[in-house]
Structure 1
């Protein structure tokens, strides 16, 4: 039997639909529990009976069936005719060895800090600010990497894995004709920059991020790596200075972490260092152009509650870039959830 995901029920009365929405935190808990227990790794190509699966993951059989029934309802695993449980397309993504594994993302979504900040969403809406510093005494990234390094490493893995697919799409969609150097600002471990350098053999790159992030850049970009000869690693804070000269500046998944004031200030810092005519390309979701508003709008709230940031519409991106002193040019689809929002530094002849 092929992987199957059940279709959503239709005609459900409004009170029950609202009930389902209000208790959808249980879905998050179920998916996270499946990831923590390693259920997907314990299920192979043949259906597995509950007793065998419970023994494999160290769980109570009766309770495990309760969990599996909830997961099956949402298309994560399926109940086989012979009484066991088998994979679906969604459950396979929870396997550690899946090429497009989302296990780290599932673990992160149900991490203890996530439950705490989501419970304070109303406070974030009242103030327009992240609740994270008030709960943990410092911003999100500082807490993860300074106080909970294992969770910080999980965050890095989740972001790197989720960025792999979009990096390939962005590399294919981004026009780099006549470009000598691309700088990936806030580029993390260099997933996107690696994809660009591999696609364009004559291209040079700069990976710019905080010192503790650049120190763990992709080995192929570091000294001795296959692409090190065409890549320079620069550490710094884009809120203070961007000492990088490039033809194209990329900011992927960066601007949505900031509110408008912070974003404008950081972009103005970049503009001060850039040459006239240099391109600035934001790689972000665009709220009014997304095919998945149910995901984008929740991410919009997550950016608010966790970091005081936001997703934006096309018009809001244009306004943001113009406030920063840039000339808006275009928005380009990439075939993934993100788009290329492009502007240029004014003054080119």
Structure 2
């Protein structure tokens, strides 16, 4: 684990040790990606194994694997037992691919080269005042994944896994209407929409995203049969009309303000009188306390044109689209529901 410090600011040698440990943070992310990619947690699902056994089953070098697992044991992902075998910890169980709410796809997405490389070029991003993805890959992030099916699959599967652990508490946090139409704009594979429809049998749903994304939808279940439809499309062009509630879950943070205003205006024009837009994104809190959104915001800075926003920044964004914040609903997750209505 990194050097622990007291509540008082570190000084002298303590501060130096602390900063050196912080600078080594990328090593842990690299080790975690390797373990996830090799399926080490799946191999340990049946119980502890020696490194030799693990390496043989994974098809990798035993000496190197021991070093990776030893690093991850300091982060309580694995545990090295007294007899030299390695075992899964409770945290490591979430890295298995066969458990509910598996973190493995999200880990693979967040440590993919498309996000990893830009994150290492923060200084370049600061100097040129924008994302560096195009400098590294020759095109924007979304153009890149449109041309690289394997990367696109990793991204959308990872986003689905990222969202799965939060969909239930978010859907439970908001008082959706008893009847009407919910349109999930940029809703990916439909995990959140599925949760909303299950909780509210009087609602119908529309899943909108790009054609290659909605083909992987998860809505074809018996409990919501006949209450949904797909709407392949581009939210920069238009969105389906007639919705009572428009959901933008983890969408606006990917885009610059002007692009967000375009999306919001499309939703405003398309919704029924008295309709509302639910922007489900992080609302960055003030102060110095840790918050996952602050780290995600820096990742967005280097790879995308978007950002995580404060309440004041959201208010300005909505005003530019002819909208206003009605309320902000906490969800018990990293994100909040920002309910947006016409003035």
TM over 0.5: yes
Aligned mates of 1:100, 1:298 — CA distance in 2: 22
- Kindly indicate whether residue 245 of structure 2 is the aligned counterpart of residue 248 of structure 1: yes
After alignment, is 156-165 or 104-113 more displaced?
104-113
Q: Which residue of 2 aligns with 1:104?
A: 105
Q: 1:119 to 1:8 in 2, by over 3 A?
A: closer
Give the TM-score normalised by structure 1.
Answer: 0.89
Deviation track 1:34-55 (CA, whole Å, cap 9, x = no partner) reads 1122211111353222222222
Q: Which residue of 1 aligns with 2:43?
A: 42
Aligned mates of 1:155, 1:180 — CA distance in 2: 31
Deviation track 1:211-251 (CA, whole Å, cap 9, x = no partner) reads 22223322517xxx763521121122222212321111110
Unpaired runs of 5+ in structure 2? Answer: none
Give the TM-score normalised by structure 2.
Answer: 0.91
CA drift at 1:318: 2.0
Aligned mates of 1:123, 1:282 — CA distance in 2: 31
Aligned mates of 2:40, 2:33 — CA distance in 1: 11
Q: Which residue of 2 aligns with 1:208?
A: 208
Root mean square deviation of aligned Cα = 2.3
Give the 5 Å matches for 1:68-79: 68-79=69-80
8 Å contact 1:118–1:305 — kept in the other structure?
yes
- Kindly indicate whether residue 194 of structure 2 is the aligned counterpart of residue 199 of structure 1: no
Q: Which residue of 1 aligns with 2:68?
A: 67
Q: Which residue of 2 aligns with 1:182?
A: 182
Q: Which residue of 1 aligns with 2:272?
A: 275
Aligned mates of 2:54, 2:289 — CA distance in 1: 34
Aligned mates of 1:113, 1:337 — CA distance in 2: 23
> Of 311, 318, 323, which residue of structure 2 is paired with 1:321?
318
8 Å contact 2:73–2:79 — kept in the other structure?
yes
CA drift at 1:322: 1.9
| Count of aligned positions | 337
After alignment, is 29-38 or 286-295 more displaced?
286-295
8 Å contact 1:28–1:109 — kept in the other structure?
no
8 Å contact 2:250–2:281 — kept in the other structure?
yes
Q: 1:291 to 1:150 in 2, by over 3 A?
A: farther
Q: Which residue of 1 aligns with 2:226?
A: 229
